Amino acid sequence: MKAKPGAGEVWLEQEAIGVNYLDVTQRNGAVSIPLPSGLGLEGAGRVVAIGAGVANVAVDDRVAYMLGPIGSYASGRLYPANRLVRLPDEISTETGATVLFKGITAHYLLHSTYAVRPGSVVLLYGAAGALGQLMASWAKAMGAFVIGVVSKKSSVERAEAAGCDAVLIWGAGDLPSAVAGLTNGQKADVVYDGIGRPTFTASLDSLRTRGMMVSIGASGGAPDPVAVATLNTKGSLFLTRPGLAAHATDLTEYHRRANAVFDAVIAGVIKPAAANLSAPRCGGGARRIGRWYGGRGGSAQAMMHALPVNSLQELALLEAASLFAGSRREDARWKRGRFLNEPTTQPR
């Protein structure tokens, strides 16, 4: 049922929603949310009604959003107008529904957390994954030398297609030595590590003097606490653990980053292509799920998920559960690689 928008709100009829790993962690309790609650933090559709004081969007505008009030797993919803971003004609609704969450993450990591520039050496874990491919493509376009790290041989080609200049397989050898070999002994200017405990020491040892370690997740488990003196002895390193909310809550910053993401898509820096897959039967019929698949050259195989909102919420949850199961299998590979790497990645 369509509700009347209050001041500053719109009623949005959604045409696609994004499914992100954060949704999975909220659903399984790893990230707590007040209950009862909906799910979903990303979507796109058309404005069908506006409340008092809304001036930035109009009825029938195509818009997208991320973060803000939880609850994108719905065919329609009330949403704060000031967080809506108009979709350019060149951006499809499916793209708008899935590229903002990971795209804004990639933007702040590459432009703010560490300002990548021509000649920067970037070491990027999960380079064949959703966020990793966006970051590899974007960093390459910025002139960086991108070294990707993947968990298995079958992911190498995908990471290379996303823009990596070199791809290393975790567990196949001594990672810091391999990075040094690829950079004439200079190692990396910045490491983006979303794995955590299994890879943390190797990441620190892969940095140049005064390099920056960016911890962007802990799919393999939270890293152990780091003594401040360790950063000094390893070369006056910098260590940070940034988060999306701190870079996309301020409205001016949020809109600037969102428009930069759309500009990157339009310019071909990020080249997602949607394909329709048949989903399991749920509540009366097969529904379409849009998955991102990579193009050629410097494009990103984002593997982001968009659900047409004529499918039921249960279908979104089924897909989220599938994503979670896949991520658990991937995490196990990183952890197995840890034991292969342990003899050569312990602190010296």
Residues 6+ apart with CB under 8 A from 36: none
Segments of the chain with pLDDT less than 50: 274-303, 310-327, 336-348
Bridge partners of 12, per DSSP, are: 47, 77
Which residue is associated with the tokens 């990103």?
300
Tell which residue, 242, 119, 260, 248, has the closest CA to residue 184. 119
pTM score of the predicted model: 0.83
Q: Is the omega angle on the peptide bond into residue 198 within 30 degrees of 0, that is, cis? A: no
Which pair of structure tokens corresponds to residue 8?
A: 């500053």
**Reduced 3-state DSSP string for the chain:** CCCCCCCCEEEEEEEEEEECHHHHHHHHCCCCCCCCCCCCCEEEEEEEEECCCCCCCCCCCEEEEECCCCCCCCCEEEEEHHHCEECCCCCCHHHHHHHHHHHHHHHHHHHHHCCCCCCCEEEEECCCCHHHHHHHHHHHHCCCEEEEEECCHHHHHHHHHHCCCEEEECCCCCHHHHHHHHCCCCCEEEEEECCCCCCHHHHHHCEEEEEEEEECCCCCCCCCCCCHHHHHHCCCCEEECCCCHHHHCCHHHHHHHHHHHHHHHHHCCCCCEEEEEECCCCCCCCCEEEEEECCCCCCCCCCCEEEECCCCHHHHHHHHHHHHHHHHHHHHHHHHHHHHHHHHHCCC
**Closest alpha carbon to 206 in 163, 173, 228, 159:** 173
Chain segment 298-336, per-residue pLDDT in tens: 333 344 555 555 443 444 444 444 444 444 555 555 554
- Would you state the pLDDT for residue 330? 52
pLDDT at residue 28 in the model: 86
The residues near 147 (Cβ < 8 Å, ≥ 6 apart) are: 121, 122, 123, 124, 164, 165, 166, 167, 168, 179, 182, 188
